[in-house]
Amino acid sequence: MQNSRSERQQESREKPRGCTGFPRVLRPGLAAALLLLCLPLIAAGATIQASLDRTTIALGERAMLSVRVEGGNSDRPPQVPAVEGLQIVSTGPPTFLRYDINGQSGTMLTYNFVVTPTQVGEFTIPAITIASEGQQLATQPLKLSVRKPGASATQASGQELAFIRLYAPTNEVYVGQVIVAEVQLYLHNVVRDIGNFQVTAFSADGFNKGKTVEGRQSRARVGNSIYTVVPLYFPLTAIKAGDSSLGPLRVSFAAEIINPARRDPFDLLGFNTPVEQRQIALEAEGTHVRILPVPSENAPPGFAGAVGVYSVSMSVSPTNVAVGDPIRVRLQVSGRGALDSLTLPEQPSWKDFKVYPPISRIETADPLGIQGTKFFELDVVPEKLEIESLPEFSFAWFDPEQKAFQTYKHPAVPLTVRPAGTAPLLAGDPGEKRETAPPPRDILPIKQRVGALAQARPPLIQQPWFVAAQSVPVLLWIGSVLWRRRSEWLANNPRLRRKRQAAHAVRRGLRDLRTFAAANQSEQFFAALFRLLQEQLGAALDLPASSITEAVIDEQLRPRNVPEPVLAGLAELFQACNLARYAPAHTSQELAAYVPRVESLLNELRALTA
């Protein structure tokens, strides 16, 4: 117990690492946050769930068993049944978590156990029970596969930066069977990050390899070192009988390794972790697999090569049809296997029906795509009036776990086949007259009569409004081009742009003058008048508006031969603005009399400067 406690303390002091390449090692803080976000809503009563951090380990390794109790409390730890070949030891008191998510609150107790195998084999951990608030809770059984340590595992002593292991779930498979191989990548605690992960060589003769999926990462102890274990799963479909082998497997990646020898002596607080880049190549020894042919003897008539563990269901509708009307047959094949290669066998007993090719779709239930449901839909059309039923349907497959053929048989479906163009008979009293709508059909019958004909409208291309509507996008495009060119032209001509801005300011200022005059606001009136003079003269002389004063009359306008009446009018307005600062008392009529003079003078000044 003391050794287990010291190992847990050492593991808790190890720093998490991330991977930027193919496998990514999640930081514990992020994993805890994701766990908190993914907690289920509080349900009535307490719930219990057990999980293993890994389902496949090598002899000499350990797995972590977690038992989580939500919404309940218990004074006693859960009862873990003894399993021959496994040592299951508790790590100590449980961890307690109280959460509150979107108004839903609850508690969670987590009990952790260390599972150490003592022999190779396939083990099942039975249901784990716990008494919580008067309830007896039980988990689902768990499976753990313990493999022989390979060459790479035997050489691993805890000093390696990384190593890999390759596992096959079984040594015998059948042609068409799908198995899931597992690669475990071990990264030492000093490996902070990896990238550019590549599989440089992998031999799998006699198999078709599917897509690779990364599993949940865990931590394991090898020797005296802690490793992060990144599992990679890939499905393999056997395609050729004979002796085969999986592997050897070779991978390479670039690793960032923490190197304390390169620590900066001036970094006393340890903010900058010294790392070095290193290219690592690893190899895992292969394993022998024997691929067996599917037995040909005792193969049922409905066998079309399907191999897997399946369950089948079927439905037929409608059953009251006319000759030539289609009947929809729906078939669902659920289970584990090569779903994409499943096909429906021919049904020799359906010779009186025209059978159309089926359509299919797959809904997978796992990331590997080997477990789920495949849906088939096909139409069959009765061709004779004498048909009374849809004959029996059979679908057979080979179950590699039972090593035997399984057959699904759907009994014959009674049919009512009417002559073409007749309506189905209604149940009830023949003498009673009533209107009953025909039952809805999911498949429409072939239409016997065209019905009333109507004059077809001319196509859209011949209608004027449609042709005119086609010009709208062109006009919008032309308008946007012209607007853009106008904006670019103004951007390249700042003098013209300022004159336009000044003209806009003058128009707005004249409206303000009339408003201030009507309200007899003398101070605001002459302030606005002074700004108008600054804007107009600044734009005309290409000078900043703030630099315009009464002095520009003699310094700028008179040398340009501006008429004396204009200069005199400007001088009078500047003097009125200056006097208004000291004697702002004016009547509304006096202020309104300035507006026509100002407007006339600005128009003359604008004409002269143009």
- Give 263-313 as a DSSP string: --TT-TT--S--EEEEEEEEEE--EEEEEEPPP-TT--TTEEEEEEEEEEE
Model confidence at 517, in pLDDT bands (50, 70, 90)?
A: confident
Tell me what pLDDT residue 5 has.
Answer: 41
Q: Indicate if the pLDDT at residue 432 is higher than 60.
A: no
Tell me what pLDDT residue 433 has.
Answer: 45
Mean pLDDT is lowest, of 268-272, 311-315, 335-339, for 268-272
Tell me what pLDDT residue 145 has.
Answer: 86
CA atoms within 13 A on the CB side of 157: 2
Cβ within 8 Å of residue 87, ≥6 positions away:
115, 116, 117, 118
Tell me what pLDDT residue 377 has.
Answer: 94
Instruction: Tell me the two tokens of residue 482.
Output: 């012209």
Tell me what pLDDT residue 28 has.
Answer: 43
Rounded Cα distance, 599 and 205, in Å: 96
Tell me what pLDDT residue 324 has.
Answer: 87
Mean pLDDT is lowest, of 270-284, 285-299, 301-315, 457-471, for 270-284
Percent of the chain with pLDDT over 70: 81
Rounded Cα distance, 135 and 156, in Å: 46
Rounded Cα distance, 126 and 141, in Å: 5
**Is the distance from CB of 192 to CB of 257 less than 8 angstroms?**
yes
Tell me what pLDDT residue 13 has.
Answer: 40
Rounded Cα distance, 328 and 123, in Å: 46
Cβ within 8 Å of residue 283, ≥6 positions away:
152, 164, 248, 249, 250, 251
Would residue 85 be called left, alpha or beta, if left means φ above 0 and alpha means ψ between -120 and 50 degrees? left
Tell me what pLDDT residue 554 has.
Answer: 80
Tell me what pLDDT residue 314 has.
Answer: 94
Tell me what pLDDT residue 62 has.
Answer: 79
Mean pLDDT is lowest, of 22-36, 453-467, 512-526, 548-562, for 22-36
Tell me what pLDDT residue 18 has.
Answer: 40
Model confidence at 444, in pLDDT bands (50, 70, 90)?
A: low
Q: Which residue has the tokens 């946050």?
A: 33
Tell me what pLDDT residue 26 has.
Answer: 37
Instruction: Tell me the two tokens of residue 600.
Output: 């006339």
The more confidently predicted of residues 581 and 262 is 581
Distances (CA, A) of 470 to 458, 465, 467, 480, 548: 17, 9, 5, 17, 54
Tell me what pLDDT residue 103 has.
Answer: 65
**Is the distance from CB of 164 to CB of 194 less than 8 angstroms?**
no
At 196-223, the pLDDT tens digits run 888 888 888 889 888 888 888 888 888 8
Distances (CA, A) of 169 to 125, 219, 272, 291, 538: 18, 22, 44, 13, 88
Tell me what the mean pLDDT of segment 569-583 comes to: 81
Model confidence at 567, in pLDDT bands (50, 70, 90)?
A: confident
At 354-395, the pLDDT tens digits run 999 999 999 988 888 888 999 999 999 998 888 889 999 999
Instruction: Tell me the two tokens of residue 200.
Output: 């440089």
Across the chain, mean pLDDT equals 79
Q: Indicate if the pLDDT at residue 326 is higher than 80.
A: yes
- Report long-range pairs for 431-440 (Cβ below 8 Å, ≥24 apart): 439/318
Tell me what pLDDT residue 390 has.
Answer: 92
Model confidence at 42, in pLDDT bands (50, 70, 90)?
A: very low
**Is the distance from CB of 106 to CB of 70 less than 8 angstroms?**
yes
Tell me what pLDDT residue 332 has.
Answer: 93
**Is the distance from CB of 219 to CB of 226 less than 8 angstroms?**
yes
pTM of the entire predicted model: 0.50
Q: Which of 315, 310, 320, 326 minimizes the C-alpha distance to 393? A: 315
Model confidence at 561, in pLDDT bands (50, 70, 90)?
A: confident
Tell me what pLDDT residue 362 has.
Answer: 93
Rounded Cα distance, 69 and 66, in Å: 10
Instruction: Tell me the two tokens of residue 136.
Output: 């007896």
Model confidence at 426, in pLDDT bands (50, 70, 90)?
A: very low
Name the pairing type of β-strands 56-58 and 142-147.
Answer: parallel
The more confidently predicted of residues 457 and 360 is 360
Tell me what the mean pLDDT of segment 467-495 comes to: 85
Tell me what the mean pLDDT of segment 278-306 comes to: 87
Q: Which of 179, 182, 121 minimizes the C-alpha distance to 146? A: 121
Tell me what the mean pLDDT of segment 501-513 comes to: 84
Rounded Cα distance, 132 and 70, in Å: 10
Secondary structure percentages of the chain, helix, strand, coil, to 5: 25, 35, 35
Question: What number of other Cβ atoms are within 10 A of residue 364's Cβ?
Answer: 14
How many contiguous H segments (helices) and E segments (strands) does the chain have?
10, 32
**Is the distance from CB of 400 to CB of 173 less than 8 angstroms?**
yes
At 118-156, the pLDDT tens digits run 888 889 999 999 887 777 888 999 988 887 765 444 456
Q: Indicate if the pLDDT at residue 430 is higher than 50.
A: no
Tell me what the mean pLDDT of segment 266-275 comes to: 59
Tell me what pLDDT residue 361 has.
Answer: 93
Cβ-count burial of 394 within 10 angstroms (0-12 exposed, 13-18 middle, 19+ buried)? Answer: middle
**Is the distance from CB of 83 to CB of 113 less than 8 angstroms?**
no
